[in-house]
A and B are shown apart, each in its own frame.
Chain A
Amino acid sequence: KQEVTQIPAALSVPEGENLVLNCSFTDSAIYNLQWFRQDPGKGLTSLLLIQSSQREQTSGRLNASLDKSSGRSTLYIAASQPGDSATYLCAGHSGSRLTFGEGTQLTVNP
């Protein structure tokens, strides 16, 4: 059974800092890995989807990498802004379903 772990559980940084969020998964037979953002009391917004044949994806200041052999994915956020404050969730897609980590709560301080 797929298990997904995210470290750290919470992170507070000053504005402008570059940061890395970590995600590890137990089943290397994932189809893809997806990163989401969740604002308080809201649904999830998809940020990046990395297919199993890919090693990374980029969108603006976000870069996500996937290493299936080590069971790890990272989300890199460049030049963080207060508007980046949210909970970030990673999810591994295996079979016909997603398995979610518990998320990293990010606070970017002005």
Chain B
Amino acid sequence: DGGITQSPKYLFRKEGQNVTLSCEQNLNHDAMYWYRQDPGQGLRLIYYSQIVNDFQKGDIAEGYSVSREKKESFPLTVTSAQKNPTAFYLCASSTGADTQYFGPGTRLTVL
């Protein structure tokens, strides 16, 4: 069953903690993306990767970090430097400039 999986579905973070959101795809896509969505708003790009071992900052990369050691995996770490991390996080993948396919999302809440 091909697709994109994200885990966990819900995540709670205490002040000062780093947390890592998982994103895995078995679509054999080269490109992967992380977006943040706040209530009533569209998606904003955090980081993207077009190939293994390479990634670029999006529009709101401050306080986030990523790695792309494997083609199928693109984890996102929300660091303590991100002052307002409560949001819905969406991962996507694509074959370049083609259709992007999205995972089910992770809802992060700061306690």
Q: Which residues of chain A have a CB within 8 Å of any CB of chain B?
A: 4, 31-32, 34, 36, 41-46, 49, 89, 91, 93, 96-103
Q: A45-B102, A100-B43 are in contact. List 9 more A-B contacts (CB 8 A).
A: A32-B97, A43-B90, A43-B102, A89-B42, A91-B100, A96-B56, A96-B96, A97-B33, A103-B42
* Closest CB pairs A-B (n = 10): A100-B42, A43-B102, A44-B102, A102-B42, A100-B43, A43-B104, A31-B97, A43-B105, A49-B99, A46-B99
Task: Specify which chain A residues have a CB less than 8 angstroms from the CB of B97 in the assembled complex.
Answer: 31-32, 93, 96
The number of chain B residues with a CB under 8 A from chain A is 28
- Cross-chain contact B41 with A102 (CB below 8 angstroms): yes
Q: Chain B, 15-51, contact with A by CB distance < 8 Å: what is the 0/1 string?
A: 0000000000000000101010000111111001010
Bound-complex Cα distance A42 to B104 (A): 6
Task: Specify which chain B residues have a CB less than 8 angstroms from the CB of A98 in the assembled complex.
Answer: 33, 43, 45, 100
How many pairs of A and B residues are in contact by the CB < 8 Å rule? 58
Chain B nearest CB, measured from A71 CB (Å)? 17
- Cross-chain contact B103 with A97 (CB below 8 angstroms): no
Main secondary structure of the interface of B (DSSP, over half): strand
- Cross-chain contact A44 with B90 (CB below 8 angstroms): yes
Bound-complex Cα distance A96 to B50 (A): 8
Bound-complex Cα distance A36 to B102 (A): 10
- Cross-chain contact B105 with A96 (CB below 8 angstroms): no
